[in-house]
Amino acid sequence: FAARQASKSVFGAVQRRTFSATASNATKVAVLGAAGGIGQPLSLLLKLNPRVTELALYDIKGAPGVAADISHINTKSTVKGYEPSGAGIKECLTGAEIVLIPAGVPRKPGMTRDDLFNTNASIVRDLAKAAADACPEANILVIANPVNSTVPITAEVFKSKGVYNPKRLFGVTTLDVVRASRFISQLKSTDPATENITVVGGHSGATIVPLLSQAGYTLEGAERDEYIKRVQFGGDEVVQAKGGAGSATLSMAMAGARFAESLLKAAQGQSGVVEPTYVDSPLYKDQGVTYFASQVELGPNGVEKIHPVGEMSEFEQGLLEVCLKDLKSNIEKGEKWVKENM
Ligand code: NAD
Ligand code: LMR
C-alpha cells in the first residue's frame, strides 16, 4: 500500500519512495540548546534529512514550541521537545545515536571565544554528564565554544563515568572548512561547492590553520595574509556585523547539519566519508596537544581513521607551530577546570 502512495517532497518534487526505516537505520538525533540561534535552524535542517527518523529537541526554555513548529514539516521523522521539567533531558537523550550540543552563550563584539569559558564550561559539563548517563555510546558533537576546551571537558566527564570512547567525541570545526572554501572561491572565481579546503588545528583564531597548498593554491603577500586572517577570524566578522545580537547561527547550522549527515552516511555503511573535525588525536600528543582537528575518516564506530596533516608549505608550518602552542593551553585549561569542578 505504502509503495503506491505518491507524496510531495519538501521541495515539491513527487516522491514515490516508501519510507523504509528499519531497526538498523532508525536514527534518533538529539539537539541540546535547540531553541537557540543555532539550535532552531539546525533542527530545521535535521528535520529535512531523511536519514533522521526521530528528532529530540532539548533546551532550558522553548524547545516544545520549536518542536511543535518543526513537526508540521512534511517529512517522516517524529519530533518532540523537552524541557528540564517533565520527561526532561534523560528521555530526550535515551536511544540517541547523535547528540549535537549548541547550548551555551555566544560572543559579543570585543570578546574572544575563551571569554565564554566561564559560562559555557559548566553548561557543557552538565549536558555531558546527562549524555554519559543516558546515551554513553552516542556520537557527541560539541558546537558550544570555546570548542578547543569544551571537547576536553566533555571527554573528562565521560572518563569520570567510565564510558569514554574517543571515537565518539567530535568538536565541530566544519564551519572553518565551509568558510575557507567559500573565501578561496571568491578570490579565484571558482564554484564554492567544489572547493574543499582542509583546515586543521582547533576552532579559534590562530589555532585555525587552513592548508591552501593542499588544494594546489599559492597566495602571496597581502592577499595571503588577508585570506588567512579572514578564515581565522571569520567568526569575528559575523559577531561584529550582528552588533551584539550573537554570532554565526545560520552558517553554523548548515555546517552542523553537514557534519551530522556525514556521520549518518558513514554509520549507514558509506565508506570514504572524510571530514575535518577536532578529536582525541595521536598526531601531536608527543607535544602535549591531545586534541587536534585534521581530516578524519568516519565509519559506523565514529572515528575510523585520523589522517596525518600531510604536506605543508613552510608558511603553513609556521602557522601550525603557533596553533599548537595555543591549543595546548586551551586543552589544559579545560581539563584543569573540569577536574576541579566535576
Ligand atoms: P544562543 O544564545 O542563540 O542559543 C543558545 C541556546 O542554548 C539558548 O536557547 C539557551 O536557552 C540554550 N541553553 C543555555 N544553557 C542550556 C542548558 N544548560 N541546557 C540546554 N540548553 C541551554 O546561542 P547560539 O548563537 O546558538 O550559539 C550557541 C553556542 O555555539 C555558542 O557558545 C557559540 O559560541 C557557539 N558556536 C560555535 C560554532 C562552531 O563553529 N563550533 C559556531 C557558531 C557558534
Ligand atoms: C564562529 O566561528 O562563527 C563561532 O565560533 C562563533 C564565534 O564566536 O565566532
For the chain (342 residues), the mean pLDDT of every run of 10, in chain order, is: 37 39 71 98 98 98 98 98 91 98 98 96 98 98 98 98 98 98 97 96 98 96 97 98 98 98 96 97 98 98 97 97 98 98 96
Is 203 marked active-site?
Answer: yes
Rounded Cα–Cα distance for residues 235 and 205 (Å):
9
Can you give the pLDDT at residue 86? 74
Q: Is the dihedral of CA 185, 190, 193, 199 positive or negative?
A: negative
Q: Is the dihedral of CA 140, 146, 148, 154 positive or negative?
A: negative
Instruction: Please tell me the pTM assigned to this model.
Output: 0.94
pLDDT value at residue 26: 86
- pLDDT of 315 reads 96
**CB of 150 closer than 6 angstroms to any ligand 1 atom:** no
The response to whether residue 249 sits with its C-beta less than 6 Å from ligand 1 reads yes
Cell numbers that stand for 282 in this block: 595521536
Residues across the chain: 342
**pLDDT tens digits, residue range 227-238?**
999 999 999 999
Residue 12: the pLDDT is: 37
- Cell numbers at 327, concatenated: 591549543
Does the model's ipTM exceed the 0.90 cut?
A: yes
Q: Is 16 marked as a binding-site residue?
A: no
For 310: left if phi > 0, alpha if psi spans -120 to 50, otherwise beta; the answer is left
Nearest CA to ligand 2 atom 5: 235
Q: Is 104 in the pocket of ligand 1 (CB under 6 A)?
A: yes
147 lines ligand 1 (CB under 6 A): yes
Nearest CA to ligand 1 atom 42: 252
Say if CB 267 and CB 97 are below 8 A apart.
Answer: yes
Ligand 2 center from residue 61 Cα (angstroms): 23
Given 203, 230, 328, 333, the catalytic residue: 203
Q: What contacts 290, CB < 8 A, 6 or more positions away?
A: 152, 280, 281, 331
Q: How far apart are CA 149 and CA 315, in angstroms?
A: 26
pLDDT of residue 87: 75
pLDDT of 25: 73
β-pairing, 273-280 with 291-299?
A: antiparallel
For residue 321, the CA-to-ligand 1 centroid distance in Å is 30
pLDDT in tens, 219-265: 999 999 999 999 999 999 999 999 999 999 999 999 999 999 999 99
CB 195 within 8 A of CB 271: no
The C-alpha atoms of residue 304 and residue 246 are separated, in whole angstroms, by 35
Query: Given the CA of residue 179, which atom of ligand 2 is nearest to it?
Result: 2
What are the cell numbers at 87? 520527561
